[in-house]
Amino acid sequence: MMEWFKAHHIWTKLLALALAIALWAVVISSENPERTMDVDDAVVQLIGESTIRANYGLVVTNVSHPEVSIGLRGTFSRLGEIESSDVIVRADVSSFTVPGTFYLNYDVSVPNGVTVNNKTPERIQITLDKIVEKELEVRVEYEGTLEEGLEIVEAVANPTKITVYGVSSVMENAEYAVVKLNARDLTENFSGDMNYYIADAEGNRLDSEYTSSLTETVYVEIPVYMTKTIPLTVEKKGNDLITQEDILVEMEPETISIYGEASIIREIESLNVGTVDVKDFVVTTTQTFPISLPEGVSFSGNTIPSVDAIVKLDGILSTQISVTEFELKNAPDDLDVVVETINVIITVRGTEDSLKDLSAEDFKISADLSSRPVTTGRQLVTLTVECLKENVEVWGSYSVVINVTQK
C-alpha cells in the first residue's frame, strides 16, 4: 500500500490540498468578500386584516404566495449569521375596501449589514371576500342502519334555525345546518347538545375557516320507538292435587305486536292477561280475557281487544257419582229435620287410576246445622263433601233441601 502511495504521489497531493484550504481560509478571514444568498421560505405577514374586517367585513381568503424567495447580499461572514427568521416580509391590506382579487406589493426588512438583492415574485396576489350573515334551518340526518324493529320519530332541534356568518362565496351555497348522528347508536330516546355543520343543497359539507355562529351546538331530542311481538300468557293457579305443570293452556292469538318508546318496549318480554284457577272449571274450559296494555304502549296494527285461553288439565279426568245418604249434624232437639233431597250428583276429578271403581261409599257427606240459624219450614243447607279415596278431588259446592217442623 505504501509503495502505491509513493508511486502515485498521494502524499504530495494531500499536502497540496491542505495548503490550499488553509490559504483559502486566510484570504476569507482577512478580506471578507461579498456574496449573495437566497432565503426561499420567507413567510409573508399580512398587515391590516383586523382593520378591513372591522370596517368593511372583508377577509383574505387566498394568498398566491404565502412564502416568497428573497435574495440577499452581504459579506461572507455577515450572511453566514443570517437565519430565515431574520428576514421579515410584510404586505399591507388595510387600504382595500371591496371584495375581489388584487395584486399587492410587499416590504422586506433585513438585518443591518445585509441588503435585498431581489424578490421572487415581485408582488403577490390576494383574494378578498365579504363576510355575510345567513339564517339556516337545522336538520337532523342519520348514517348507518337502525336496529331491527326500531323507528325514529321526527327529531326536534332547539333552536330550529341558526344564524351563521361566513364569506359570501361559501354562504351563497349554504342551504341548511346538519346535525349528523349514527343510527346504530340510537337504541332508545336520545337528547343532548350536538355539533353541526353547514351543507349545500346536495348535502355536501361546506368547510371554511371563516364560517362562524353565535350558537356552537344545537339541542336535539330524538324519540326512538320500537315494534315487538310478544307472547300472551296467563298465571296458572293449581291446588294440592293439580300442579301448574298439569294446567295446559293454548292462547288464541298466541302473540300480539306492540309499539311504543324503545326504552319501555325493550323491557316487555310477555303480557299476562289474567289467571286460570283450577277451582273455576273441572277439566277443560275456554276463558276470554281482555287485553290491557301498559301505559305508553299501543298495538302495532289492528287492536286486539281480547284473547281466548283454551285450558285443559293434563292427565286429569272427571266423573260424577250419585250420593243418596247424608248425615245431619247438630240438629236442634226441639225440631224435626227431614232431608227432602233424594240424591246429589257429585262431580269429582283425579287421575284415571284414582277414579277407577269409585262409588258412593267412598264419600262422606254431611250438613252441620250449628253453623246457621234453623227455623221451621223448607230451606236449603250446604253440604260438606269429603272423598275418602286418595288423589280424588271434589269439585264444586252442593246443598240439599230440608224440611224443619216443630216437635
The residue ranges of every structural domain in the chain are: 1-29, 32-121, 130-222, 226-313, 318-406
Q: CATH class for domain 130-222?
A: mainly beta
Same fold, 32-121 and 226-313: yes
| Contact criterion met (CB below 8 Å) for 57 and 130 | yes
| 33-47 pLDDT per residue, tens | 888 999 999 999 999
Q: Which CATH number fits domain 226-313: 1.10.287.10, 2.40.160.40, 2.170.120.40, 2.40.40.20?
A: 2.170.120.40
- Helix or strand (DSSP H, E) at 46: strand 34-47
The pTM score is 0.67
| 191-214 pLDDT per residue, tens | 999 999 999 999 999 988 878 887
What's 1-43 look like in SS3? CHHHHHHCCHHHHHHHHHHHHHHHHHHHHHHCCEEEEEEEEEE
Grid coordinates in use for 229?
A: 311481538
Q: Tally Cβ neighbours within 10 Å of residue 21.
A: 9
Tell me the C-alpha distance between 220 and 140, whole Å.
8
Grid coordinates in use for 19?
A: 495548503
Tell me the C-alpha distance between 348 and 338, whole Å.
27
| 3-58 pLDDT per residue, tens | 554 555 565 656 656 655 555 454 445 556 888 999 999 999 999 999 999 999 99
Tell me the C-alpha distance between 109 and 112, whole Å.
9
pLDDT (0 to 100) of residue 2: 53
Residues of the chain with pLDDT under 50: 5, 24, 26-28
pLDDT (0 to 100) of residue 14: 60
- Helix or strand (DSSP H, E) at 51: helix 49-56
DSSP 65-125: -SEEEEEEEEEHHHHTT--GGG-EEEEE-TT--S-EEEEEE-EEE--TTEEEEEEESSEEE
Q: Which CATH number fits domain 318-406: 2.40.30.10, 1.10.260.40, 2.170.120.30, 3.50.50.60?
A: 2.170.120.30
What is 32-121's CATH topology? Answer: RNA Polymerase Alpha Subunit; Chain A, domain 2 (2.170.120)
pLDDT (0 to 100) of residue 8: 53
